[in-house]
């Protein structure tokens, strides 16, 4: 339970993981750009949490004492915080990948292929859509690598609920994505 509030501070999580092996230790030791995006995702999740709880008694304040009290209990607020943190990390890593700020990822190739196969070929001079889809699978994978790997060997009820909340947060991002088209150049 003491590690529950550490999810809010990736640097503290990394201090504990530096001596170990595995995906989380690899992120902490070798992928500083990804760790920065994870920290940005956690901050994004905290901001969204504060917005969602703005009219409640506990408004998702980020003081260490307040967040520790909430994260040590089994409440719906704890579940929401876990889900929103996983969603924030997934969103931020996916967005950084699409913008080219993240090394080791690329566009979602499946969306690009799907668009090229549609319809008959256009006559010369006609405009055809081509673009880069956001690679949500990369964001989900890195969120799993950072958050879930600590709990893989445990199967108590509290751990299973926490992992479920992480999955719920990631699915909220994946299920609410939509395609937007933008014009570039003369139109």
User: In the chain, what is the greatest distance between 2 CA atoms, to the nearest angstrom?
Assistant: 65
pLDDT for the residue 86: 94
pLDDT, average across residues 15-34: 74
Q: Which residue has the higher pLDDT, 141 or 130?
A: 141
pLDDT in tens, 63-122: 666 777 777 788 888 899 999 999 999 999 999 888 888 777 876 655 544 444 455 665
Residue 2, pLDDT score: 41
Q: Is 118 within a domain?
A: no
Handedness of CA 35, 150, 5, 138 (dihedral sign): positive
Identify whether 169 is part of a domain: yes
**Phi/psi of residue 133, nearest 5 degrees:** -80, 150
For residue 94, is it within any domain? yes
Domain count, the chain: 1
Q: In the predicted model, is pLDDT for residue 158 greater than 80?
A: yes
- Can you name the residues that pair with 108 across neighbouring β-strands? 133
Predicted TM-score (pTM) above 0.85: no
Residue 121 lies in a domain: no
Task: Tell me if 182 is assigned to some domain.
Answer: no
- Whether 181 maps to a domain, the answer reads no
Range of the domain at 103: 5-110+131-175
Return d(Cα 130, Cα 146) in angstroms, integer. 33
24 within some domain: yes
């Amino acid at each position: 339970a003491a590690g529950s509030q550490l999810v809010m501070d990736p640097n503290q999580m990394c201090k504990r993981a530096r001596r170990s092996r595995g995906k989380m230790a690899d992120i902490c030791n070798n992928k500083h750009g990804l760790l920065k995006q994870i920290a940005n995702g956690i901050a994004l999740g905290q901001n969204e949490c504060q917005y969602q709880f703005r009219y409640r008694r506990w408004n998702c304040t980020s003081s260490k004492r307040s967040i520790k009290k909430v994260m040590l209990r089994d409440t719906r607020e704890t579940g929401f915080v876990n889900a929103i943190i996983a969603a924030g990390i997934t969103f931020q890593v996916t967005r950084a990948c699409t913008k080219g700020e993240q090394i080791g990822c690329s566009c979602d190739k499946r969306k690009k292929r799907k668009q090229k196969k549609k319809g008959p070929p256009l006559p010369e001079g006609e405009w055809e859509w081509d673009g880069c889809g956001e690679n949500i699978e990369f964001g989900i994978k890195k969120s799993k690598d950072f958050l879930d790997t600590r709990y893989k060997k445990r199967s108590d009820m509290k751990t299973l609920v926490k992992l479920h909340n992480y999955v719920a947060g990631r699915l909220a991002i994946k299920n609410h994505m939509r395609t937007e088209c933008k014009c570039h150049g003369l139109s």
